[in-house]
Amino acid sequence: MNSKESILSNIRKNSCADYEMPDIAVKGVHYDDSLQQFIDMTKAVGGNAHVVQVGENINDLIRSYYSEAVNIVSNLPEVTIATGNPDTVVKPQDLDGTDVAVVRGELGVAENGCVWIPQAVKEKAVYFIAEYLVILLSADKIVDNMHEAYDMLRFNDYGFGTFISGPSKTADIEQALVVGAQSACGVTVFILNA
């Protein structure tokens, strides 16, 4: 018997109880103003949220938020100021040194400021290796809670996706919160179509 069969047969032999799957009918938290809650939570977790007004240009906004950024990486056609593209690098290590990565989010979750980003680039390192991350998110894609989000989750063919809630952080040294651990030191969500 190989290990798989051995493990499965031991499980079947030992199981001493039988429980049904519960009906997951819980009412997740609802917000009267999901957009505002999303903005508040994004700030609470150390991120920025900017509601893009009519007439505001993404590229100008990126420049104004990150005036010292030199290496701006994106595969989004609307990001004309990009100096690099995660689809065309030879290897993911080439993305090190990215000052700002601009990516698209597909869902926002109001209860925790999470943005669902299904991988839409050749090298997903772009989501984690940049000093700063800018996420474009449409306001009509903001849901209240994770129950709703998981009902709507979609992947692209790349087979990877991540919820990102604010910048990377740690409190491992004396419980002192430090923003910017191994990934983005800052995150700005540009909310479109509000």
Q: Which of residues 161-180 bind other proteins (CB under 8 A)?
A: 161-176, 178, 180
Residue with tokens 């925790």: 112
Binding of residue 147 to other proteins (CB under 8 A):
yes
State which of positions 56-115 bind other proteins (CB under 8 A).
92-93, 96, 109, 111-114
CB 179 within 8 A of CB 167: yes
Place of tokens 């997903």: 124
Site for other proteins in 2-31 (CB under 8 A): 2-4, 6-8, 10-22, 24, 26-29
Closer to other proteins at the Cβ: 8 or 70? Answer: 8
E-assigned strand segments in 48-150: 48-51, 72-73, 100-104, 107-109, 114-118, 132-138, 142-143
| Closest separation in Å from C-beta 76 to other proteins | 19
In the complex, the smallest distance separating the C-beta of residue 28 from other proteins, rounded to whole angstroms, is 7
- Stretch touching other proteins by CB under 8 A, among 51-59, 61-69, 70-78, 160-168: 160-168
Q: Cα separation of 78 and 57, whole Å?
A: 9
